[in-house]
């Protein structure tokens, strides 16, 4: 019976540690400019930026560059995230 209590206590402790770790890693995420285009159908991430203001200022340059390359912009968003890929295209 005592072993079960110790085992459950360790499960509880590990769960708390995992939750705290996940919460801290989310707080360390940076700001990114996310641009969706069609023709080509792609999602582009530009960043990382320390502040949302830095990302907002930079979004105009990135969108202009994509338009100069012939992309049709659909949406531009500023997100706090950690993208796994910086360019995702759907052929």
Task: Tell me which residue range forms the domain holding 45.
Answer: 30-89
Query: Which residues have CB under 8 Å from 33's CB, separation 6+?
Result: 45, 46, 47, 49, 55, 58, 59, 62, 76, 77, 78
Q: Are 30 and 80 in contact (CB under 8 A)?
A: yes
Grade residue 25 by pLDDT with cuts at 50, 70 and 90. Answer: low
Residue at 64 is within a domain: yes
Q: Number of structural domains, the chain? A: 1
Question: Could you give the CA distance from residue 7 to residue 13 in angstroms, rounded to a whole number?
Answer: 10
Question: Could you give the CA distance from residue 52 to residue 41 in angstroms, rounded to a whole number?
Answer: 25
Q: Does residue 7 surpass a pLDDT of 70?
A: yes
Q: Read off the pLDDT of each residue in 39-58 and give the average, rounded to a whole number.
A: 95
Residue at 46 is within a domain: yes
pTM: 0.69
Residue at 7 is within a domain: no
DSSP class of 71: P
């Amino acid at each position: 019976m005592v072993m079960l209590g110790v085992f459950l206590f360790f499960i509880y402790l590990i769960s708390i540690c995992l939750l705290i770790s996940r919460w801290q890693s989310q707080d360390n995420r940076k700001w990114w400019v996310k641009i969706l285009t069609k023709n080509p159908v792609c999602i582009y991430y530009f960043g990382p930026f320390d502040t949302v203001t830095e990302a907002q200022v930079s979004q105009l340059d990135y969108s202009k560059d994509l338009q100069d390359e012939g992309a049709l912009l659909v949406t531009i968003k500023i997100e706090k995230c950690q993208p796994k890929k910086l360019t995702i295209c759907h052929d």
